Amino acid sequence: MKTNKKIEIYFVLFLLLIFLTFVILAIGYNPIARVVPLIVGIPGVILCAILLSSYYIPAVDKRINTLKQKTFFEVEVGDEKKQQKNFKRSEEEFKKTSLKELNIVAWIIGFLIGIYILGFIVAIPLFTFLFLKFREKESLRMSILVSAGSWAAIYIMFSLLLKAQLYSGLFY
């Protein structure tokens, strides 16, 4: 099985887990409060289970593929063409993309941690500068310019114009 497919299976498993958790929790509620969660959750569990089985049982996969939604045109836009190409890529390319995925997710998590500790006003220029300088390998001048510009824009728009109180972190 292709690695890309394995990741898709993990994602469907994750969705199945969400539906299962909601169904199990719903059973504990009173009869009125649990009606709709069960109406929504149980079909979710069933659909995820069928989709999951389709990755292993060719007959189910074939059956599911007959349920492709009607489209008016089989026109593929550029993005989808790229996605189709992605399926054909080699394992090596896949690993590269996976690393890139982990990398950008790590940057976002890092930014969230930065906001939590330092607050928006410090975390924004810091994140923008580090992201541009070290991830995107932009020049020092461009990194400083964009990070200062984005900080100024956010500060003026949200703090000065909208008077929104931005989170100031653990230390302020």
Partner 1 sequence: MIESLVVGFLNIWIWPAPLYMFVGILIGLFIGIIPSLGGNFCLCILIPFIFKMDPKIALSFLLGAHAVVATGGSITAVLLNTPGSEMNAATLLDGFPLTQKGQGGRALGNALTASGVGGVLGALFLALSLPIMRKIVLAFGPPEFFMMTVFGISFIAVVGKGSLFKSLIAGLLGLLISLIGYDPITGVVRFNFGTMYLYEGVNLLPVMMGLFAIAEMIDLGIKGGSIQQETALDKDEKVGVLEGIKDVFRHWWLTLRCSFLGAFIGMVPGLGGTIAAFVAYGHAVQTSKHPEKFGTGIVEGVIAPEAANNAKEGGSLIPTVGFGIPGSSGMAILLGAFMIIGIIPGPQMLTTKLSLTWSMVWLVAIANVIGVFICLLLANKFVKIAQVRASLLVPIVIVLSLVGTYAVDMSFYGLVIAGIFGIIGYQMKKYKFSRATVIIGLVLGDIAERNLHLSLMLYKGLFIIRPITLILLAMTVITIMLPFLGKNKISKEIT
Minimum CB distance to partner 1, residue 100 (Å): 5
Rounding to the nearest 10 degrees, give the CA dihedral for residues 70, 74, 77, 81: 100
Q: Which is nearer to partner 1, 40 or 140 (CB)?
A: 40
Minimum CB distance to partner 1, residue 164 (Å): 4
d(CA 151, CA 25): 43
d(CA 162, CA 131): 27
Residue type at position 132 = L
Minimum CB distance to partner 1, residue 22 (Å): 5
Tokens of 105: 């997710």
Q: Please choose, from the candidates 159, 136, 158, the residue with its C-alpha nearest in 3D space to the C-alpha of residue 147.
A: 136
Tokens of 4: 């890309």
Query: Is 13:52 a contact under the CB 8 Å cutoff?
Result: yes
Three-class SS state of 56: coil
Binding residues (CB under 8 A) for partner 1: these are: 8, 11, 15, 18-19, 22, 25-26, 29-30, 32-33, 35-37, 40-41, 43-44, 47-48, 50-51, 64, 66-73, 75, 77-79, 82-83, 97, 100-101, 104-105, 107-109, 111-112, 115-116, 120, 124, 127-128, 131-132, 136, 138, 142, 146, 150, 154, 157-158, 162-167
